[in-house]
Structure 1
């Protein structure tokens, strides 16, 4: 269920240079949103900029009835949003899109001679799941909400991999660590200023090579996601990825955010709307452009 709501800002913090965590009251979103979904937010009460902006839901606080988004200032709209203060109001549409498939609705199953896949829980007995959550930059936003939900589930081992260009752009590491003792945190920076020196996907490759992962969730820059997809295909591990695309309407009408995916027939393809059929897709469905 989706609805327009006028909400009040409860807090806004610059958690890293140019990166903001904004919280607002929304009992509706608290009860309706699922990890991986997003909201469409008008950054200012004017028509300049004309279009609202999509933001992944990063955190949900049921006790306070608050929702938080994480964003980077990259243009006029987000620059206006960064000027907002406590008690300021704006209009938000959501929750939108398709979110992540949560383990309670399925467990890992490998049919004899076939690839791993997720099947309905009622069809197969639960099994111990080893999960990797891979984030690049602000891609940690929908994955943090996912981790909030995963922390209450039994029989999970979770490896959280967060990558950034430098230490100044590593986001929500301490929050992930304090969220649950079952989260094993790995940090990587491209310039070596903190943690592993190199792409975060190299850490994922090491875990997959050691056969330590059963399921992978990922969100981040397209180049990172393409590498993740290649690794999961190589090691025959299922996963879901959240795509980042520029959007026009946010509800599937304008077709400005399509991505190429595999069709039902062999060697066929079709275009799907990231805002409607996504932003989360099974990694095996995406056809990556060269």
Structure 2
């Protein structure tokens, strides 16, 4: 796995919701290597461990990486205070991302909460052949729907409390989408219960499904074994894999839910 360390100038910084922030940095070498679904490790002032943040989008021509994250602790709270013109110390791109093969196929992207950002660059590749099913707790937490729509994707929105879109779960909308048209592949990122449900729906319909797992990480490069999850080999043998090194993206059939 090839990765780099760069001191990256912050080109733009926006606040999307009370807790969600959008930061774009100049990182030409990392942008050249980046793939959909990968992540980076970012140094936060005053903290020994870097924070793993999914890559929301990348532009290889402009040499930029975009990160959309939520404040979840002291490290990401510090990140929320950075300003345009400052720099971030970033290691990346890390991990195994989504393999985007047939862009002419019909793809469904299922995102839950802050699991939504790493799906955006993939939806851009599929354009009008993509459906983005995005779920959030409430309307005030909704992010990136305009970005997915601008990419050409059909956007289906759900909220737990019904304040925006469908009142209920993303899986309700996924079933609706599959009942109304063919689907060649499902990409998903979000809370584990959501991923488990999406994987079950895909398995019932024999649709290839790739999931991006969220686990606490320390090193981000496979050295500390702190992000191990149980997986299954093609022969049915169970083993542990590291989300940072072997993932974060796995075939849904590999994961022992």
TM-score w.r.t. structure 1 length?
Answer: 0.85
1:201-227 CA deviation, whole Å, 9 max, x = no partner?
111022234452221000011111111
> Which residue of the partner structure matches residue 89 of structure 2?
91
- The aligned runs of 1:189-228 (5 Å cut-off) are 189-210=159-180, 212-228=182-198
Q: C-alpha distance in 1, partners of 2:225/2:99?
A: 24
Gaps of 5+ in 1: 108-127
RMSD, aligned CA: 1.5
> Which residue of the partner structure matches residue 250 of structure 1?
220
The count of corresponding residues between Structure 1 and Structure 2 is: 256
Gaps of 5+ in 2: none
Larger Rg: 1
Q: C-alpha distance in 2, partners of 1:149/1:214?
A: 15
Q: Specify whether residues 200 and 264 from structure 1 end up closer, same or farther in structure 2 by C-alpha distance, changes over 3 A only.
A: closer
Question: SS at 1:129's partner residue?
Answer: coil
> Which residue of the partner structure matches residue 116 of structure 1?
none
User: Residue 22 of structure 2 contacts residue 69 of structure 2 at CA under 8 Å; is this kept in 1?
Assistant: yes
> Which residue of the partner structure matches residue 243 of structure 2?
274
- The aligned runs of 1:31-110 (5 Å cut-off) are 31-44=32-45, 46=46, 49-104=47-102
1:145 to 111, 121, 125: 121
Question: SS at 2:69's partner residue?
Answer: strand
TM-score w.r.t. structure 2 length?
Answer: 0.95
1:177 to 142, 149, 172: 149
User: Residue 208 of structure 1 contacts residue 235 of structure 1 at CA under 8 Å; is this kept in 2?
Assistant: no
2:229 to 246, 254, 259: 259
1:176-235 CA deviation, whole Å, 9 max, x = no partner?
11122xx11111111000111111111102223445222100001111111101111111
Q: C-alpha distance in 2, partners of 1:34/1:87?
A: 26
Q: C-alpha distance in 2, partners of 1:253/1:201?
A: 35
User: Residue 4 of structure 2 contacts residue 30 of structure 2 at CA under 8 Å; is this kept in 1?
Assistant: no
User: Residue 209 of structure 1 contacts residue 235 of structure 1 at CA under 8 Å; is this kept in 2?
Assistant: no
Q: C-alpha distance in 1, partners of 2:202/2:132?
A: 16
> Runs (4+) of structure 1 moved beyond 6 Å?
none
2:157 to 184, 187, 210: 187
1:41-88 CA deviation, whole Å, 9 max, x = no partner?
0122x3xx2210111110113443221101000110011111110111
